[in-house]
DNA sequence: AGTGTGACTTGGG
DNA sequence: ACCCAAGCCACAC
């Protein structure tokens, strides 16, 4: 497995309950500031096998990015379930729930 | 090798 | 706040 992929997985697993990170943030923490789309690919293919909290990753505007209705519904359910407010249109207040204290990672 | 494809981001109107 | 055009990058065909 590619080291970048490995780091992305670690970063995502480090997002605590009740918080979210954007794709760009995750990419940056993993060492590739322009790698947001790779984060997408990784979540899409490895979230299940690696037991990742994929629902804690949202886009830069603080919205649920996924299009599929089913998964979209599950994500809002998971988030609200752990204390993150999600508006009817799938928006989240980043000022409030964005996770930034990830300096402890290498 | 060339092209199309995203659960993206940023900058400008 | 919303829409769009560019830029982005690994991967599947």
What digits encode the pLDDT tens for the residues A59-90? 999 999 999 999 999 999 999 999 999 999 99
Number of residues assigned to chain A: 106
CA distance A23 to A1: 20
CA A49 → C1' B12, Å?
41
| pLDDT on residue A106 | 56
Is residue A105 over pLDDT 80? Answer: no
Protein residue closest via CA to C1' of C12: A41
Tokens of A82: 């752990």
Residue % of chain A over a pLDDT of 90: 92
Where does the pLDDT of residue A102 fall: very low under 50, low under 70, confident under 90, or very high at 90 and above?
low
pLDDT average, residue stretch A21-34:
95
H-state helical runs in A1-66: 3-13, 23-29, 36-46
Q: Is the CB of A44 under 7 A from strand C?
A: no
- Distance from the first to the final alpha carbon of chain A: 19
CA distance A2 to A5: 5
Nucleotide nearest A47, CA–C1', reads B7
CA A62 → C1' C4, Å?
19
Residues 6+ apart with CB under 8 A from A98: A19, A20, A21, A22, A25, A62
Protein residue closest via CA to C1' of C11: A41
Where does the pLDDT of residue A2 fall: very low under 50, low under 70, confident under 90, or very high at 90 and above?
confident
Give residue limits of the domains in chain A: 3-97
Q: Does domain A3-97 have CATH number 1.10.10.10?
A: yes
Q: Is the CB of A96 under 7 A from strand C?
A: no
Where does the pLDDT of residue A1 fall: very low under 50, low under 70, confident under 90, or very high at 90 and above?
confident
Q: Is the CB of A22 under 7 A from strand C?
A: no
Prediction pTM value: 0.93
Residue A52 falls in which region: left (phi positive, over 0), alpha (psi -120 to 50) or beta: beta
């Amino acid at each position: 497995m590619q080291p970048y992929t490995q780091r992305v997985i670690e970063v995502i697993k480090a997002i605590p309950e009740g918080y979210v990170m954007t794709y760009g943030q995750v990419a940056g923490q993993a060492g590739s500031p322009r790698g947001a789309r790779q984060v997408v690919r990784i979540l899409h293919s490895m979230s299940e096998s690696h037991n990742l909290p994929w629902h804690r990753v949202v886009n830069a505007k603080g919205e649920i990015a996924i299009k599929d209705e089913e998964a979209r519904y599950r994500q809002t359910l998971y988030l609200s379930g752990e204390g993150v407010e999600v508006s009817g249109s799938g928006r989240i207040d980043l000022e409030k729930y964005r996770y930034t204290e990830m300096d402890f990672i290498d």
